[in-house]
Amino acid sequence: MGRVITILKLGGSVITDKNKPFTVRRDAIRRLVVEIKDAMAKNPGLRLIVGNGGGSFPHMPAEEGKLKDGIVADWQYEFLAKTQLAAKKLNMVLQEEFLAQGIPSFSLQPSSLGITIEDRVAKIATAQIEELLKSRVIPLVYGDVFIDTKKGCSIVSTETLILELAKEMKIDRVIVGTNVDGVLGRKEKAVKEVTPSNISKLDKFMGGSGSTDVTGGMKHKVETMMVVARFVPEVRIVNALKPGYINRTLLGEPLGTRIVYND
């Protein structure tokens, strides 16, 4: 197999208990890292960027500090710091597990790679990521709170970060690992593909997150991934809670729901 640059997102609902503040699912993280390790061993051409959702870590202080609407009062700066720290702590747990499994990784704080203007990422720096990929070191990124030139701060989801990376780099695949089998349609059964022609029909089945989530839940994921599919030929949403699914998807099996930009 040739070199394949893949962005893998591990959802916050997979690696944390989103209903219990600051609660990590260590067994799930360990299993997923082992699956990643196996896929990398079987495909030497695989180059991975791993991003994680915030789950029960940064969403709580971000909600309490009302950061979604930006900074309007000085008391919010405490929660700006708490949100940034919480996001960083969860990413550190992930990095510790990569280290324990003997996989070299390097954590990059996304808010240090760019700035936002009224919630829009102006530009994201990718030089460090591209250098790490050359050495087969896994860049670790995550949803973060950015400094915003108009609002003071802006919550940037992992999906939005993936979109910005897809605009700036040549990405071959994006895999979004969630706690469901893909994009669910009638009778809560995952659909094979989401396209411009059927997304409106699926809209009523896609609510927000069932727990505290300042980034918008499944609806935001699908809408953002539809834009990502403009730049990336293979975009999938897969159930990362099912053992082996991330490994199999990394190795090319078409599991979950594919997001297609053109019908």
Write the pLDDT tens digit of every residue in 90-133: 999 999 999 999 999 999 999 999 999 999 999 899 999 999 99
Instruction: Render pLDDT for 239-248 as a digit per residue (tens, 0 to 9).
Output: 999 999 999 9
Mean pLDDT for the chain overall: 93
pLDDT at 204 over 80: no
Other residues' Cβ atoms within 10 Å of the Cβ of residue 226: 17
Q: What is the pTM of this model?
A: 0.93
Q: Is the pLDDT of residue 199 over 60?
A: yes
Q: Kindly state the helix (H) or strand (E) to which residue 3 belongs, with its residue range.
A: none
SS3 115: strand
Q: Domain residues of the chain, as ranges?
A: 4-259
Flag whether pLDDT at 88 surpasses 70: yes
105-107 and 138-142 beta bridge pairing: parallel
Radius of gyration of the chain (CA): 17
Looking at residue 145, its pLDDT comes to 98
Give residue 73's pLDDT.
98
pLDDT band at 220 (very low <50, low <70, confident <90, very high): confident
Tokens 């324990």 locate to 100
Instruction: Place 201 in a pLDDT band, splitting at 50, 70 and 90.
Output: confident
Per-residue pLDDT at 208 exceeds 60? no
* pLDDT of 212: 45
Please tell us whether the domain made up of 4-259 is placed in CATH 3.40.1160.10: yes
Give me the pLDDT at residue 216, please: 57
- HSE value, Cβ hemisphere, 13 Å, CA-based, for 72: 6
pLDDT band at 198 (very low <50, low <70, confident <90, very high): confident
| Per-residue model confidence as pLDDT tens digits over 223-244 | 999 999 999 999 999 999 999 9
- If you average pLDDT over residues 25-29, what whole number do you get? 98
Instruction: Please determine, for residue 35, whether its predicted confidence score (pLDDT) is greater than 50.
Output: yes
